[in-house]
């Protein structure tokens, strides 16, 4: 990964984790749901794509809630692409 790609990845991880942390008081299930909704509404496609690409890495740095939210969105994106 190039320097700027690494910086972008770190920013995406930090932002996703911050969003999930802000919703943590709602409980895990609701935090995941609200984090996914926030990312779906406010992140541009490049940010989402970067997050989805990082999910495959075991050392991505996503919190469990942020990772689950992105995995949910990635699954929805796959489902809608398949028809």
pLDDT tens digits along 54-65: 998 889 999 999
Q: Where are the beta strands (DSSP E) in 1-83?
A: none
CA angle 21, 58, 34 (to 5 degrees): 25
Domain parsing of the chain, residue ranges = 3-82
Question: Which structure tokens are listed for 55?
Answer: 């999910």
Tell me the per-residue pLDDT of 26-62, one tens digit each, with 9 for 90 and over.
Answer: 999 999 999 999 999 999 999 999 999 999 888 999 9
């Amino acid at each position: 990964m190039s320097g700027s790609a690494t910086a972008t990845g770190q920013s995406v991880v930090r932002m996703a984790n911050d969003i999930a942390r802000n919703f943590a008081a709602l409980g895990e299930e609701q935090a995941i749901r609200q984090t996914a909704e926030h990312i779906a509404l406010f992140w541009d496609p490049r940010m989402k794509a970067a997050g989805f690409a990082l999910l495959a890495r075991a050392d991505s740095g996503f919190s469990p809630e942020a990772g689950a939210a992105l995995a949910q969105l990635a699954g929805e994106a796959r489902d809608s692409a398949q028809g």
